[in-house]
Amino acid sequence: MRKILLLLAFAPIAAQAQQGTFTTKSMTPEIALNAARAALEHCRKTGYQVSVAVVDAIEF
């Protein structure tokens, strides 16, 4: 019985620790450049004058 109570007492802490982690996916520079060029070309074809930028969400 005591072991069960200890497990129940620490279960919320373990759940909170898991919520703080996440994974991300990153593009290669080549893919980012291709996406920016495609967006620019699409906008030019439809008559918009735009600037295109690709930024990284991760700061070091």
Residue 51 lies in a domain: yes
**Given this model, what pLDDT does residue 23 score?**
79
5 — pLDDT class (breaks 50, 70, 90): very low
Give residue-wise pLDDT tens across range 10-55: 555 555 555 677 777 888 889 999 999 999 999 999 999 999 988 8
37 in any annotated domain: yes
Asked if the structure places residue 42 within a domain, the reply is yes
| pLDDT computed for residue 31 by the predictor | 92
pLDDT at residue 56 is higher than 90 = no
Buried/exposed 9-40: b ≥16 CB within 10 Å, e otherwise: eeeeeeeeeeeeeeeeeeeeeeeeeeeeeeee
Q: How many domains does the chain have?
A: 1
| Residue 51 belongs to domain spanning | 24-60
